[in-house]
């Protein structure tokens, strides 16, 4: 039986990223690698949604992956409306699920 090896982008280019570090999503510890965006780290951990839409509360995550669509908005270190596909993951980052427009602190 011919078993296929799992091919990853890092393996294809023979990349050797530095050691993993920890970020959190809603208090849950996740691993990230140097050079990964927050969206990539969330995807690697199996997280596909980290935002809900304003009107219907539908789940959203990364869609375009290049910062054009705004589906991947997250609150990062207390700052809402960060495009997770563009924000580099840094050790200790606290990512929280963003609900609606991300400005609950401005509600009256």
Q: What is the pLDDT along the chain (108 residues), one digit of tens a residue?
A: 456 667 777 788 888 889 999 999 999 999 999 999 999 999 999 999 888 887 888 888 888 888 888 889 999 999 999 999 999 999 999 999 987 665 555 443
Cβ-based burial of 16 (10 A; exposed 0-12, middle 13-18, buried ≥19): exposed
Pairing mode, if any, of strands 21-25 and 59-60? unpaired
Say which residue the tokens 């990062």 belong to: 76
Q: What is the pLDDT of residue 108?
A: 38
Q: Does domain 19-98 have CATH number 3.10.20.440?
A: yes
């Amino acid at each position: 039986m011919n078993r296929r090896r799992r091919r990853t982008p890092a393996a294809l280019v023979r990349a050797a990223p530095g050691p993993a570090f920890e970020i959190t999503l809603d208090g849950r510890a996740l691993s990230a690698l140097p050079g990964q965006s927050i969206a990539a780290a969330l995807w690697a951990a199996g997280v596909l949604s980290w935002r809900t839409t304003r009107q219907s509360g539908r789940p959203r995550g990364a869609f375009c992956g290049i910062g054009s669509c705004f589906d991947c908005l997250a609150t990062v270190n207390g700052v809402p409306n960060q495009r997770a596909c563009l924000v580099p993951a840094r050790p200790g980052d606290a990512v929280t699920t963003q609900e609606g427009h991300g400005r609950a602190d401005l509600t009256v």
